[in-house]
Amino acid sequence: MTNTNQFTASKESKSKAKKYRGIAIIAWFLALVGQVVAILKLLHKDPLTWLLVAIGLILALAITGSILWKKANRLDPASKKDKFKFFVQNQLGAILGILAFLPLVIFIFTNKNMDKKSKGIAGTVAIVALLIAGATGIDFNPASIESYTEEINKQTSTLKTLNHNTDAVFWTKAGHKYHIYKDCQHIKGRESISNGSVKQSWEQKGISELCKTCEKRARK
């Protein structure tokens, strides 16, 4: 792999990623605050229904945080060179999703003020919520600078084979694929047609797939 086409997130992608991460952190913070409030309410022997509603709200916040955090990591991925940072950045949603429920689960089952039936219902629901939040937060196929770089170089090589050894493609603001031909039926006549290399289409727009119509045309 050469460094010629090494992936670098664009300023726009970094800005979007920062925004998503900020909202995710707020959602996780509110989830943790909600857990503290739920525990305090248990101390005051509040109704079981209130606790179940609180668990639902905490779960919604935890999932929201994880989804936005994953989106941010796709836009501005970490490098595999720092293994600890790479792991934490990509699995933070799972870690915080579990932390948003684990203390509550422990407190429910150790709470002497709850009757067995209520404890069983609340504990089961809390455990299920913990598992859902943890599973939602796991990134099973995390993006990385290295994986993006490898794919960019692979696609650039393929493109050059199809395009007379030229790394030049076109894409539109609303499109999700890059094109070899500016007059491709899928983008012909559209405003704001951008052009550049495969690498630039990744960095500026997050486009990572060649138009099938252009590919067929080029192979002919």
How far apart CA 212 and CA 177 sit, in angstroms, is 9
pLDDT (average), residues 18-32? 98
Which pLDDT band holds residue 41 (cuts at 50, 70, 90)? confident
Strand partners, 210: 178
Q: How many CA atoms lie within 13 A of 28 on its CB side?
A: 22
Which pLDDT band holds residue 70 (cuts at 50, 70, 90)? very high
Q: What is the mean pLDDT of the chain?
A: 93
pLDDT (average), residues 163-182? 93
Phi/psi of residue 178, nearest 5 degrees: -100, 155
Whether residue 1 has pLDDT greater than 60? no
pLDDT of the residue at 4 = 64
Range from 42-56, 80-94, 182-196, 200-214 that averages highest in pLDDT: 80-94
Give the pair of three-digit tokens for residue 187. Answer: 């983008």
Strand partners, 179: 170
Lowest mean pLDDT among 10-14, 26-30, 56-60, 127-131: 10-14
Whether residue 2 has pLDDT greater than 50? no
Q: Specify the pTM.
A: 0.85
Is there a contact between 106 and 98 (Cβ–Cβ < 8 Å)? no
| Domain boundaries defined on the chain | 11-137, 145-219
pLDDT 10s digits, 92-128: 999 999 999 999 999 999 988 888 999 999 999 999 9
| DSSP calls for 61-128 | HHHHHHHHHHHHHHHSPBPTTSHHHHHHHHHHHHHHHHHTTHHHHHHHHH-TTS-HHHHHHHHHHHHH
